[in-house]
Every structure is written in C-alpha cells, then in structure tokens.
Amino acid sequence: MRDFLPADKTRRERVLAVIRERYRAHGFDEIETPVMEEYSRLHAGIGGDNEKLAFNILKRGLDADAVRAAADEPTLDVAALADLGLRYDLTVPLARFYATHRAQLPSVFRSIQIAPVWRAERPQKGRYRQFMQCDIDIIGDATPRAEAELIVASLDTLDALGLEGGSIRINDRRALDGMLDVFGFAADERPGVLITIDKLDKIGPDGVAAELRERGATPDAVDAFEQFLRRPQTREYNPYGERQIRKALPEGIADEVVAHLVALGETVAAARGDAADIPLVFDPFLVRGMGYYTGTIFELAHPSVTYSLGGGGRYDGMIGRFLGQDVPAVGFSIGFERIVDLVSASVAADAASVVLVHDRDVPVAELLAHKAAFVASGTRVRLEQRTKNLKGLLERAANDGYTAFATVSAGAAPGEVEVKSLG
C-alpha cells in the first residue's frame, strides 16, 4: 500500500478522468459498492486464487482468548473468526449488487466500477496490496454484441490515453474445455493442465509437454496435445471467418462456440468500420486464470510492453450464485497501475493550468484578484513566490501537472499578465 505525492496523485486522477469519461461516452453508468463484503461471499469458490489473498476482518467483540482458542483447533476455521473481508476484485461485489438491486436496473445493465481493491500479495514491482481497478461490465446480454461493446470501449479508452496501437487477444473457455476433451484429459486434472498451458509463451511446447508429464496428466492426452502443438501453425488468427477459427482448433469443437467467436469478430469489425484494420486476434491457447469464466475471454495487449494491460471475460454463472437464477454477464478490466506509468505527461497534465510567480511586494489582494480571474475562466491556478532558482520552481510545477506560468508584478491589472508555456 503506497503513499502518492501531489504530482503522482495528479497524474493518476487525470488518467482516471479520461478512463471514466470514455467509459461514460460508450453508455456505461458508474456505481459504487462497499469496500467490504461478507466473508461467505468472498470465499464462495468463485474468486479463484484471489480468495486466498483476501484480507479478512475479525468479528467485532472477539477477545484474545477466543482467537487463541480458535488457533489451537486442529483445523483453523477462519469463518468462526471473520465475518467480513476487504474486496479483492470488483466482479464479486458487482454480482451481489446486481442481485440486490435488479428490480431498479435496466434489463441490460452497463456498469462502471473504478475503485481500489486489496489483496495480501507479497510486495514486489508491479504487485501491490492496494491497487485501482477500472471495470466495465454488461449484465443481461448473452450475445456477442456485449463482448464487442466492451472491446470497442476499451480500445477507444486506450487511444484516448495516447496509447494507440493496442490489440485484443480472444479465446473461449468452452473452446479450451473442448480441446482438453478431444485430447482426452480427465475432468479433475483440467485446472492444472490449464495452468500449464498458460505458460506456453514462457516455456514453449517442449516445456508444456514436460510439465504436463510431471503433473501426472493422462499420458495419451499429453501425447495428443504435444502433437497438436508441434503442427505448423501460428498463435494468432483473425477471427473474421469460420475457416480461420477452425484452422486454429482441433476437430470436435462445438459449432456454437465457433459461431460465437466468428460473430464477435464480425461485430467488432462492423463497429470499428474496417475489418482489415481491426486489432483483434484469436489465440486458442489464451487461458486467463479466473475460474468463474464460462465463455469468451480476452486480454488487452500493446506493442510497447510484453505484458497484458487488461482483460476479462464472460461469467454467466456467477450472479446465479446470489440470485438463484443464471444471468448472462461479461466484463473487461483495464490494468490501471500498469497503464498509468505508460501515459505521457501531456495526457496526464491538466488541460488549463498556470503558476503565478509573484514578487514578495505584490499585495495579497492583487494576487487573489489575478487568481480569481484565471479560476473564473476555468484555469487551475497556483501562487508561487519568486525564488532565486526560478528554473527549479518551474520544473517542479511542470512535474505537478501545470502547463503554463506567468509572472505578476505589483500594480498589474488582472488579465494583463503574459502567460508562457512550461513545455
């Protein structure tokens, strides 16, 4: 968990403002949920490995003796000690929110959530115990249009942040399950098999096959999968036709899965206007780790970095855990902590901001009059008394997000000072 100096905070808020504005432009509405959820909800088996990283909150009224007694039990029952926890993502709270307020929401609900989450990570570069998530979700639409809306909105947001050239890798968990079924992997070994497949970029086909054998996966299934990996192929296929999708998958994948992927590619192409220039690729080995995904999954990539900048997928079964009936849902999350470091200073700076550098002898009333004139025009203003090291003062102001400066002398009329760029 980190402190942020003014310059860092200004940068983060500006980037968040751009993300929020683009999400809203695409018809999504912002909601807010509590930072805490019930322990039973956070540990309902739908959060994957994140459940192990949850910060749990002791029940009020427990004394030290009660905690020691619970700790002395052969098996620690955390639920006996904790009834709440800090949210580890925004998807589980959204599912609970929708189940609670469904009657007050439209039949197809487009949600924005921009808020901090907490995980008990081991602190290291790029991994924090408190970090921001920027989610958009569509609940109530089972068609490829929902995924296409999320993809188009996310790419538009990336462009608005000055990070043009992003692309989306897509796959479908049903295609992955079908692939494992075709090769003959047993149902109980598939979670581990998927973990290994997810390492394909890092360890290659030989490493994947070796690790699957070390895991004790079904030998014939590993042999069949290894043979499939070694056939001439590319990792990326344009998802604009059935032939491309079929080429990337083994025989036996359900027609409805292929049809959904093809329809998604065509819908995104129609939304973007030019199919030849659609940054969308089909990757049959894209896994994503969350266990609650039931259909399409996707990741946001950018040529400037080797890691993903966001992702998401369809989780049609989650809301039913709270509502008692399944409701189609799909979401996309931008990796804010990764993106904020890539955004240029010009995008993160305030659109109109000025530092008024004044001499010591300028009356306070005059300074406030100058400031009021700029504020009235929509400009952010900071007053700074002139120092010997004017260059250092201006550099600090630029780092804090200011774009211009003006010097103020005694007797100058408001609006008559010369404004100069800090660029």
Q: What is the CATH number of the domain that holds 391?
A: 3.40.50
φ, ψ (nearest 5 deg) of residue 326? -70, 140
Q: What's the total number of domains in the chain?
A: 2
pLDDT in tens, 294-307: 899 999 999 888 88
The structure tokens listed for 32 are 């807010």
Domain-located, residue 228: no
The pLDDT of residue 200 = 86
pLDDT in tens, 80-108: 788 899 999 999 999 999 999 999 999 99
- Same-domain status, 286 and 397: no
The pLDDT of residue 347 = 66
φ, ψ (nearest 5 deg) of residue 276? -75, -15
The pLDDT of residue 327 = 93
Of 318, 345, 372, the residue that ends a domain is: 345
Tell me the residue range of the domain where 395 lies: 349-421
The pLDDT of residue 348 = 60
- Same-domain status, 370 and 322: no
Domain-located, residue 208: no
pTM, whole model, 2 decimals? 0.85
User: Cα(246)–Cα(241) distance, rounded to whole angstroms?
Assistant: 9
Average pLDDT over residues 261-286: 78
The pLDDT of residue 234 = 57
- Same-domain status, 336 and 411: no
- Same-domain status, 97 and 159: yes
pLDDT confidence of 17, banded at 50, 70, 90? very high
- Same-domain status, 18 and 87: yes
Domain-located, residue 191: no
Provide the CB-side half-sphere exposure for 12 (13 A, CA).
Answer: 19
The structure tokens listed for 333 are 């999350």
**Percent of the chain topping pLDDT 90:** 39
The pLDDT of residue 81 = 82
The pLDDT of residue 238 = 60
- Same-domain status, 29 and 156: yes
Domain-located, residue 356: yes
* Mean pLDDT of all residues belonging to the chain: 86
The pLDDT of residue 114 = 97
The pLDDT of residue 110 = 97
Q: Which of 227-236, 272-281, 385-394 has the lowest mean pLDDT?
A: 272-281
pLDDT in tens, 309-325: 999 999 998 888 888 88
The pLDDT of residue 240 = 57
The structure tokens listed for 313 are 């997928």
Q: Return the higher-pLDDT residue of 398 and 140.
A: 140
Domain-located, residue 10: yes
Domain-located, residue 335: yes
Contact present, 90 and 315 (Cβ < 8 Å) = no
Q: Which of 22-26, 109-113, 335-339 has the lowest mean pLDDT?
A: 335-339
- Same-domain status, 374 and 294: no
**Percent of the chain topping pLDDT 70:** 92
- Same-domain status, 25 and 125: yes
Of 322, 345, 368, the residue that ends a domain is: 345
pLDDT in tens, 266-276: 888 887 765 45
Average pLDDT over residues 372-378: 89
Is residue 67 pLDDT above 90, yes or no? Answer: no
- Same-domain status, 28 and 144: yes
pLDDT confidence of 29, banded at 50, 70, 90? very high
Residue 130, amino acid: Q
- Same-domain status, 18 and 113: yes
User: Hey, what long-range contacts does 365-370 have (CB within 8 A, 24 or more apart)?
Assistant: 366/408, 366/410, 366/411, 366/412, 367/408, 369/414, 370/408, 370/412, 370/414, 370/417
Domain-located, residue 388: yes
Q: Return the higher-pLDDT residue of 82 and 233.
A: 82
User: Cα(392)–Cα(365) distance, rounded to whole angstroms?
Assistant: 27
- Same-domain status, 11 and 144: yes
φ, ψ (nearest 5 deg) of residue 298? -150, 155
Q: Which of 86-95, 134-143, 343-352, 375-384 has the lowest mean pLDDT?
A: 343-352
pLDDT in tens, 170-214: 999 999 999 999 999 988 888 888 888 888 888 988 898 999 999
pLDDT confidence of 60, banded at 50, 70, 90? confident
User: Cα(209)–Cα(330) distance, rounded to whole angstroms?
Assistant: 32
Average pLDDT over residues 371-383: 90
Report the CATH number at residue 99: 3.30.930.10
Is residue 308 pLDDT above 80, yes or no? Answer: yes
Domain-located, residue 223: no
- Same-domain status, 38 and 116: yes
The pLDDT of residue 235 = 56
Of 345, 362, 383, the residue that ends a domain is: 345
